Structure 1
Amino acid sequence: MEQYKKIKLKPKKESSLKRFHPWVFSGAIASLPDNIEEGDVVEVYANDNTFLGVGHYQIGTIAVRILSFKQKEIDASFFEERLQEAYQMRESINLVRADNNTYRLVHGEGDMLAGLIIDIYGALAVVQAHSVGMHMSRHMIATALEAVLNNSIEHIYYKSEGTLPYKAPIDPEDSFLLGGKHDLTKVAIENNLK
């Protein structure tokens, strides 16, 4: 497993994480590694060195968005597993069906993918990153999305130019990760309405 940078919390600041709240606020952090960069995957530890979670670091009030409360590698298989869980949940509540191919597949923290939104419109998926870490993971996410939806997605549009932190040291650009502007004449259906 990859070695991630470690963030240690101040004493008695771990209670929200022990209740599975997916955010670490900057005021709870005792120390940061010297070479940490926005978007890095980090492990979070209590002041007594107890592991609490792994997530993306970002500059701001919400300093870490937790992706797992277990020690896991945040790689392509992680995203595929999380997207599969999100898809199965939408299937179980009958959102995915012939007369409804338009739905939100990923709703950030609710699907344990803090900082990520994915909407499905028929054969088009629209991916929005709300954190630098998710922005940096966009290609892994697109590959996982294709695998989970059994290649039923023909286009993946990355639309994060206006949703990423404005001070982030990146130059985001809305663009297609799969497919393109050609052949975008697919029909999206919501509750039998086209």
Structure 2
Amino acid sequence: MVEIVLKKGKEKAALQRHPWVFSGALDKVKGKPEDGDVVKVFAFDNEFLAYGYFNGNSRVAVRLLEWDENQIINKEWYQNRLQQAIASRQFILSDKTDTCRLVFSEADFLPGLIVDKYANFLSLQILSSGIEQVKNDIVEILKAELNPKGIFDKSDATARGHEGLPIENGLLWGENPPEFLEVKENGIAYNINIAEGQKSGFYCDQRDNRKILASYTKGKKVLDCFSYSGGFSLNSLANNASSITSVDSSGLALETLKQNVELNKFDSTKITSIQSDVNKQLRTFKESGELFDVIILDPPKYAPSRSALDRAARAYKDLNRLGMLLLEKGGLLATFSCSGAVDIDTFKQIIAWAALDAGKEVQIIKQFCQPEDHPVRISFPEGEYLKGLLLRVL
């Protein structure tokens, strides 16, 4: 096995079980590893640190996965890791919820692997060359453990480019999922599109937050921005919101939302869908003087890296400023960020700037986070990406 030796003083993060070793920390590479090969990582004084995946293309040169030198990284090792991850999510699944994240990359000691369960189908995202090398083993283990109808490869994230990997989107094993697959979450049914939908098919990371926020929407006029297939909209309908306006730029997403309203036999007269750029539509509402009781802002990732933080901060500030201006006095703004580069303190500061620009007094009444199937390893705080605030705008 190829051995990697770190520069003096660069072993601290690995000793603290952080899973990333950056290329600038490498001193010697004893051998010629292929991208995705498992290597042994040593400190400058030749103390063993961990096993990890090597990648010469990536800024993260080694992704650490095992700190016990006596372990052998083989199919049995992957089986044990997958079994642990799957077992830890079983309490989430029930007759009311048949979708959740089964494997969450570094949080489950499998850097670069995401596995989502959608009813009887599995959707995989493979984001590291190390997992790409053992993809067949992963599929075989998942087949044996879960007996799904099909396993679909949804590895179309731009992150694969950093690892020198091409985009993949297609069936890995079993049946192709139907164009619209019915899943359940908190008793609400959804038609989702795994092949063409965003991310791995559905945003199950908002499961708890959708339910919490719905409790504030009874009898309220709700605006759901970046609504996608209607998670927040459907929960608000289930809790008897008086009306809901759902805005998204994707026609497919809004068509799926329409199907989901029919699927749950909700009152379709209560919901209006608008296909538009959200910022443009918010300005249109402002010009027409339309106001809402509850507004939900759940935008895509504005800051994919720290280098994009300043630009993202301006985008978040303007979005939230517009949202605050469209609320009735005392109305509620539920605002989210899924950018890992934006921590909660930075997000609160951005909200403070937005309130100042909007000329509004704002109270934080609740803080949102990602659910239990998206755990955060204490040694890897970067895994905490989803954060949100429920604000009362005075």
TM-score normalized by the length of structure 1: 0.87
Larger RCO, structure (CA 8 Å, separation 6 or more): 1
Identify the residue that residue 102 of structure 2 maps to in structure 1. 105
Letter in 1 for 2:185: E
Structure 2 CA distance for partners of 1:106 and 1:53, relative to 1, 3 Å: same
Q: CA RMSD in A?
A: 1.9
**Distance in 2 separating the partners of 1:40 and 1:128:** 19
Structure 2 CA distance for partners of 1:164 and 1:137, relative to 1, 3 Å: farther
Identify the residue that residue 193 of structure 1 maps to in structure 2. 188
**Distance in 2 separating the partners of 1:165 and 1:43:** 23
Alignment of 1:161 onto 2:156: yes
Alignment of 1:33 onto 2:37: no
Deviation at 1:57, TM superposition (A): 0.8
- Residue 174 of structure 1 is aligned with which of 169, 172, 183? 169
Identify the residue that residue 14 of structure 1 maps to in structure 2. 11
Identify the residue that residue 112 of structure 2 maps to in structure 1. 115
Number of residue equivalences = 187
Greater gyration radius = 2
Structure 2 CA distance for partners of 1:169 and 1:23, relative to 1, 3 Å: closer
**Distance in 1 separating the partners of 2:179 and 2:82:** 24
Deviation at 1:170, TM superposition (A): 4.8
**Distance in 1 separating the partners of 2:24 and 2:77:** 29
Structure with the largest fraction of helix = 2
**Distance in 2 separating the partners of 1:174 and 1:186:** 17
Gaps of 5+ in 2: 190-394
Structure 2 CA distance for partners of 1:60 and 1:191, relative to 1, 3 Å: same
Identify the residue that residue 84 of structure 2 maps to in structure 1. 85
**Distance in 2 separating the partners of 1:157 and 1:163:** 18
Letter in 2 for 1:175: G
Deviation at 1:81, TM superposition (A): 0.6
Q: Could you say what secondary structure the match of 1:147 adopts? A: helix
TM-score normalized by the length of structure 2: 0.45
Identify the residue that residue 143 of structure 1 maps to in structure 2. 140
Alignment of 1:130 onto 2:160: no
Q: Could you say what secondary structure the match of 2:97 adopts? A: coil
Gaps of 5+ in 1: none
CA displacement 1:114-164 (0-9 Å, x = unmatched) = 111111101111111111111121111111112222x1x111101113345
**Distance in 1 separating the partners of 2:177 and 2:157:** 24
Deviation at 1:84, TM superposition (A): 0.8
Structure 2 CA distance for partners of 1:65 and 1:121, relative to 1, 3 Å: same
The 8 Å contact of residues 113 and 124 in structure 2, kept in 1 or not, is answered as yes
Q: Could you say what secondary structure the match of 2:81 adopts? A: helix
Deviation at 1:165, TM superposition (A): 3.1
The 8 Å contact of residues 3 and 29 in structure 2, kept in 1 or not, is answered as yes
Alignment of 1:68 onto 2:63: no
Deviation at 1:27, TM superposition (A): 1.0
Letter in 2 for 1:142: V
**Distance in 2 separating the partners of 1:156 and 1:53:** 31
The 8 Å contact of residues 75 and 140 in structure 1, kept in 2 or not, is answered as no
Structure 2 CA distance for partners of 1:190 and 1:67, relative to 1, 3 Å: same
The 8 Å contact of residues 129 and 163 in structure 1, kept in 2 or not, is answered as no
The 8 Å contact of residues 112 and 127 in structure 2, kept in 1 or not, is answered as yes
Identify the residue that residue 273 of structure 2 maps to in structure 1. none
* Deviating more after overlay: 113-122 vs 26-35: 26-35
Q: Percent same amino acid among aligned pairs?
A: 34
The 8 Å contact of residues 58 and 162 in structure 2, kept in 1 or not, is answered as no
